[in-house]
Structure 1
């Protein structure tokens, strides 16, 4: 067996209604003012308001940036970072799918270390711990709440670049299956297949280890058993829990084993 290493540096809360633990997590982290990064779609369906109400009812100030777009750009990152610095927050809450989480990691980097976000492109260019992030995923797909990657689009060069550093891992993740139970069937399907492919690619990776294999195997079991039921009925609590946990385990597996050709080809496509 070859040498391998891993660490579990995060605090993860899982369960129906676990979103309500957010104020206590913030207080335990010493956060009196938070910066919530999300998108207009989640604002429109009331998810942003639900989260901000929980924060404010806990006696904590909250500033929001809601202009995240799919395949987020350098412009979006710069806008959000400027507002973060201006508002005086000390913690970032990343609410949504992969895009808000990617932007949150990039904002956390710029707010701590400055410069241009392209300065951090590549592997292990982030010099230390970034601004604390609490990740609240609203899809069972990306696994970004437990991965070390942030993918940003450079509009001028018309390409996506990746920042890969374990310093960008969110400090906390709240996995509340209720947040994915209103997703459209098409979104549930696309995100679920994405999570399944994460697990498969990590399992087949040349960089896999017994640790990443264990996470990938459990992810494939959970997603394989629950994906069809979840697409059929997003209100199926058991299926939603299985998909949320499976997506998370798949994310952990590829955070340490990396991905393969499917995701490599997706970037130029």
Structure 2
């Protein structure tokens, strides 16, 4: 079977990597750029640091700093309006998945026209979007290297998943100087998001040898370094390894796809405006238990157990429970809530509606098992009760 592998053209890693951006911008001949970020990164001076690189490269820039967590259609539309008014040649996203996804959505609409809602699904754009530089400030979403972006639709109270190589970032910067100030809760949530990416890529219907290489290595690196990064944000070695791991996990799922965890998390997070990484982390063990009914998944759980460093000899029947228990322990160890009830906002009366949204989510198509609505409700219910 023929495979297509998408990858970012240029990625920079490590402490001080932002300094490598200036000559690349000069090569691109950029004269006008829009820096897309949130108010915190603007007020903290991080945006000014990136802006200085733009100025040193000879580019004028303006700042759009109204990105919100779980960015909505309105946030994207405001960013589009700014980009069009200023006639910029480049979008520079500074932040985690929210900023980068906002820039991706804006880049597609600016280049191709229409509305952001028209691009929900797979491969809906007609040509590449406006070029994007992503300066990543978290170690989790992988958005700086994927062909995915997510936008919240407030009308349906859900998240729209877009899969489109035309949204790919041109240059990704993973500079740990921008990550060291992440608080423990954000470090944990984004790190568990990255682990979910790696696991779902490995279990995906579209997994292949290249995505497996990335997915299993990312699992190993995350379980070894996430607890250290949560415990001490100034642990440079752990931060650096998490930056590599989330990026590699992103490349894995960008090409293999995701699954039921993300489909359910998109519905949950969009409805209640909950942190995406936390939704993934809470749902992950319950979806893994559901997917362990698949013979393909049970075989792959043995490789997952080995990648995570679990001790012992496993069979297809014993590997899944061991992996699920390990994931529970890892989540608890980094401070993730044990169940959906602890998130306070979640109401089981909404589970049937959330299940309908999850079943139509783009990510569900690569899950090994296609669940029924009642089965999705059952998983939500199990995750609520804990």
Normalising by the residue count of structure 2, what TM-score does the alignment of the two structures yield? 0.67
2:245 maps to 246
The RMSD of aligned alpha carbons is 1.3
Q: Which has the higher helix share?
A: 2
Q: Deviations over 1:159-218 (max 9, x none)?
A: 211221011110111111121111101111111111011101111112100000001111
1:261 maps to 260
Please tell me whether the aligned partners of residues 17 and 176 of structure 1 are also in contact (alpha carbons under 8 angstroms).
yes
Q: Which runs of 5+ in 1 are unaligned?
A: none
Q: Deviations over 1:69-96 (max 9, x none)?
A: 1111111111111111111210110110
Please tell me whether the aligned partners of residues 26 and 32 of structure 1 are also in contact (alpha carbons under 8 angstroms).
no
Aligned ranges 1:81-92 → 2 under 5 Å: 81-92=80-91
Q: Deviations over 1:24-47 (max 9, x none)?
A: 111111111111100012123221
- Once the two structures are TM-superposed, the CA of residue 156 in structure 1 deviates from its matched residue by 2.4
Aligned ranges 1:111-190 → 2 under 5 Å: 111-190=110-189
- Establish whether residue 22 from structure 1 lines up as the match of residue 40 from structure 2: no
- Establish whether residue 212 from structure 1 lines up as the match of residue 211 from structure 2: yes
Work out the CA distance in 1 between the residues paired with 2:88 and 2:21: 16
Work out the CA distance in 2 between the residues paired with 1:184 and 1:46: 17
Work out the CA distance in 2 between the residues paired with 1:64 and 1:114: 22
Q: Deviations over 1:98-148 (max 9, x none)?
A: 111111011101111111111111111011111100111100000001111
Work out the CA distance in 2 between the residues paired with 1:41 and 1:107: 21
Please tell me whether the aligned partners of residues 12 and 172 of structure 2 are also in contact (alpha carbons under 8 angstroms).
yes
Q: Deviations over 1:229-264 (max 9, x none)?
A: 111111111111100000000000000111112111
Secondary structure class of the residue paired with 2:267 = coil
Aligned ranges 1:53-68 → 2 under 5 Å: 53-68=52-67
1:229 maps to 228
Secondary structure class of the residue paired with 1:267 = helix
Paired positions, count = 268
29-38 or 54-63, larger mean C-alpha shift: 54-63
- Once the two structures are TM-superposed, the CA of residue 3 in structure 1 deviates from its matched residue by 4.6
Q: Which has the higher strand share?
A: 1
Secondary structure class of the residue paired with 1:140 = coil
Secondary structure class of the residue paired with 1:174 = strand
Please tell me whether the aligned partners of residues 229 and 239 of structure 1 are also in contact (alpha carbons under 8 angstroms).
yes
Work out the CA distance in 2 between the residues paired with 1:43 and 1:9: 26
Larger radius of gyration: 2
Q: Deviations over 1:9-37 (max 9, x none)?
A: 52111121010122211111111111110
2:35 maps to 36
Greater RCO (Cα-Cα under 8 Å, separation 6 or more)? 1
- Establish whether residue 192 from structure 1 lines up as the match of residue 185 from structure 2: no
Please tell me whether the aligned partners of residues 7 and 145 of structure 2 are also in contact (alpha carbons under 8 angstroms).
no
Please tell me whether the aligned partners of residues 6 and 255 of structure 2 are also in contact (alpha carbons under 8 angstroms).
no
Normalising by the residue count of structure 1, what TM-score does the alignment of the two structures yield? 0.96
